[in-house]
């Protein structure tokens, strides 16, 4: 394909690639100025489907048309398994597929961002943006009695109960969810639907970006496929990438920004040498123990009574986000702050969520909050429609501390299962690892670690921001080595937060909008 094959498009001030947690925010905030015209490109389609609206149905979206449906390379630390990575390919992005957990993380995590990327990213600077988000965050509508037993079990195991989203969390809580009256609210519903009448915003779905266009080192627009044809659009001010920690580095590389050696291998001309594009990946790994329980869990969520309860009252099991409770613990009591999260669900969550719920059960699992292992996103080919190579590098840290901490977390989960509150709800039978009550505890934990661990769907840091020259973007989220190009999504996190990524990704979008608005008057020359 040559440039002459492209269908020329109209001109916009800003072109945003990706209508996920950050992209929807940017489209809303930038078009509050009626003189600024914005085009938002989304590779996926509409979010108007029941599985998105009904909270407990999110795993039914896995491997659907709303999912990029990625697979990692085989992971030696996980018995050579390739791990399934769902990512939202739909309006709202992964906020349309996630478990709706609004878990901000620790204030200290954002202060660490400030150390690495400047004071604009400190907790004191970002807290007002968390408070001002348009995403509704509510208490659960109808948590299961089994979740109450989990909270009692946490206490009996020696852990405190506390409110959600404290600045320094150190205990367990009921999950606060991104819902309104028992239905999911994604980024599209919160930020785009209320402004559907704005004439200065155009949202194009089914629009797959293939390259950022440059004149020299200035980004001037985007090439994309839409309606079966290749098109181009001009950005007068900036192109903003908001495709997430997989798609953003892939698009940067396809556009000539990355490690020159990798670009040369794929025949891509170098626009800017930036070797860290696609590197430094961090992800939250979770491993689960599941015990058979008495009835009343989400195994019954699709019964006629529960469907009617949801449709007519917006109550019952279908309002569940599945992971109804969580808390922060230490793998080693001597640690100053928690390094693990323990997640609890009144459901048998097995086989990466792809096989349905096999029976009544309770799931408990540790999450490694700040892994020392690093992963990569690299190009498979120069074909923009080929999925990139995703290698999370689970358990590749040289001293093995990631593995040790996860094993400690599994031991904590079994200790919680041994409390009176949980013994009254569960049998001795392990649904996962199946039949492992016949194994020694150490054997069970090792099996769970290697055979059952999977992503918690939080990849970050593949286009990290920083004050150092080797960072991919600077403190203003501008891509180094070029002009007219920014990144605003989870890929810019210099380090992964000890929380979940939807909340900080939303706030990254809010902060990016502020940064752009502050400089927009100087960037935009009058239209001729």
- What is the enclosing helix (H) or strand (E) of 240? strand 229-241
Q: Which residues of 178-198 are buried (b: 16+ CB within 10 A; e: fewer)?
A: bbbebbbbbbbbbbbeeeeeb
Contact by Cβ (8 Å): 164, 140? no
Three-state DSSP class for residue 125: helix
| Dihedral over Cα of 67, 72, 74, 75: its sign | negative
Tokens of 302: 């699709």
Q: Give how far the C-alpha of residue 47 lies from the chain's centroid of Cα atoms, to the nearest Å.
A: 17
* Catalytic site includes residue 284: no
SS3 70: strand
- What distance in Å separates the CA atoms of residue 206 and residue 198, rounded to the nearest whole number? 21
130: part of which helix (H) or strand (E)? helix 123-132
Using CA atoms, how far apart are residues 151 and 163, in angstroms rounded to an integer?
12
CA distance 479 to 243: 15
CA 525 to chain centre: 36
Is 61 in contact with 86 (CB distance < 8 Å)?
yes
In sign, the C-alpha dihedral spanning 458, 62, 448, 171 is: positive
As a residue count, the chain comes to: 528
Bridge partners of 167? none
148 Cβ contact partners less than 8 Å away, ≥ 6 residues apart = none
- The tally of CA atoms less than 13 A away on the side-chain side of residue 484 is 22
Give the count of beta carbons closer than 10 Å to the beta carbon of residue 175.
Answer: 25
DSSP 338-376: --EEEEEESS---GGGTS---SSEEEEEEEESS-S--BE
**Spatial distance between the Cα atoms of 81 and 59, rounded to a whole number of angstroms:** 20
Distance set, CA 260 to CA 266, 291, 390 (Å): 10, 50, 19
Residue 453 C-alpha from the chain's centroid: 17
Tokens of 408: 């400690």
Q: How many CA atoms lie within 13 A of 497 on its CB side?
A: 32
Going by C-alpha positions, the residue among 471, 515, 513 that lies closest to residue 493 is: 471
Which of 284, 458, 500, 502 is catalytic? The answer is: 458
Pick the closest to residue 91 from 148, 38, 53, 117 (CA basis). 53
Q: Which amino acids are annotated catalytic?
A: 458
């Amino acid at each position: 394909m040559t440039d002459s094959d492209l269908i020329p498009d109209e001109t916009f001030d800003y072109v945003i690639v990706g209508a996920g947690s950050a992209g929807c925010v940017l489209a809303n905030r930038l078009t509050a100025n009626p003189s600024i015209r914005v085009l938002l490109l989304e590779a996926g389609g509409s979010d108007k489907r029941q599985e998105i609206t009904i909270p407990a149905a999110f795993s039914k979206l896995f491997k659907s048309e709303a999912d990029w449906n990625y697979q990692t390379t085989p992971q030696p630390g996980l018995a050579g398994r390739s791990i399934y990575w769902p990512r939202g390919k739909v309006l709202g992005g992964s906020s349309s597929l996630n478990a709706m957990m609004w878990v901000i993380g620790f204030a200290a995590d954002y202060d660490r961002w400030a150390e690495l990327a400047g004071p604009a990213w400190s907790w004191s600077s970002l807290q007002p943006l968390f408070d001002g988000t348009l995403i509704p965050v509510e208490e659960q509508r109808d948590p299961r009695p089994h979740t109450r037993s989990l909270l009692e079990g946490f206490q009996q195991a020696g852990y405190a109960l506390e409110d959600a989203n404290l600045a320094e969390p150190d205990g367990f809580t009921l999950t606060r969810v991104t819902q309104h009256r028992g239905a999911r609210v994604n980024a599209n519903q919160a930020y785009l639907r209320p402004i559907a009448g704005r004439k200065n915003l155009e949202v194009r779905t089914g629009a797959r970006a293939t390259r950022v266009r440059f004149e020299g080192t200035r980004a001037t627009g985007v090439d994309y496929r839409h309606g079966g044809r290749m098109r181009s659009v001009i950005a007068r001010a900036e192109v903003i990438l908001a495709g997430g920690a997989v798609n953003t580095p892939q698009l940067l590389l396809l556009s000539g920004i990355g490690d020159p050696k990798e670009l040369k291998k794929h025949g891509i001309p170098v626009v800017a040498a930036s070797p860290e594009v696609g590197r430094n990946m961090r992800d939250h790994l979770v491993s689960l123990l599941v015990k058979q329980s008495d009835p009343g869990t989400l195994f019954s969520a699709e019964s006629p009574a529960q469907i009617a309860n949801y449709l007519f009252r917006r109550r019952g099991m279908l309002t569940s986000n599945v992971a109804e409770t969580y808390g922060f613990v230490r793998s080693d009591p001597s640690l100053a702050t928690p390094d693990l999260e323990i997640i609890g669900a009144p459901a048998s969550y097995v086989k990466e969520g792809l096989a349905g719920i096999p029976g009544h059960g309770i799931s408990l699992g540790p999450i490694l909050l700040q892994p020392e292992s690093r992963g990569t996103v690299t190009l498979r080919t120069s074909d923009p429609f080929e999925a990139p190579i995703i290698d999370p590098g689970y358990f590749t840290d040289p001293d093995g501390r990631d593995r040790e901490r996860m094993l400690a977390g599994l031991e904590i989960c079994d200790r919680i299962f041994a409390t009176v509150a949980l013994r009254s709800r569960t049998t001795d039978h392990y649904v996962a690892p199946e039949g492992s009550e016949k194994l020694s505890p150490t054997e069970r934990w090792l099996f769970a670690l290697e055979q059952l661990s999977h992503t918690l769907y939080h990849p970050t840091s593949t286009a990290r921001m920083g004050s150092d020259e080797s960072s991919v973007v600077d403190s203003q989220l501008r891509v180094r080595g070029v002009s007219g190009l920014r990144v605003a999504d989870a890929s810019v996190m210099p380090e992964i937060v000890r929380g979940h990524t939807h909340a900080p990704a939303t706030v990254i979008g809010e902060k990016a909008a502020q940064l752009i608005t502050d400089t927009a008057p100087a960037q935009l020359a009058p239209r001729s």
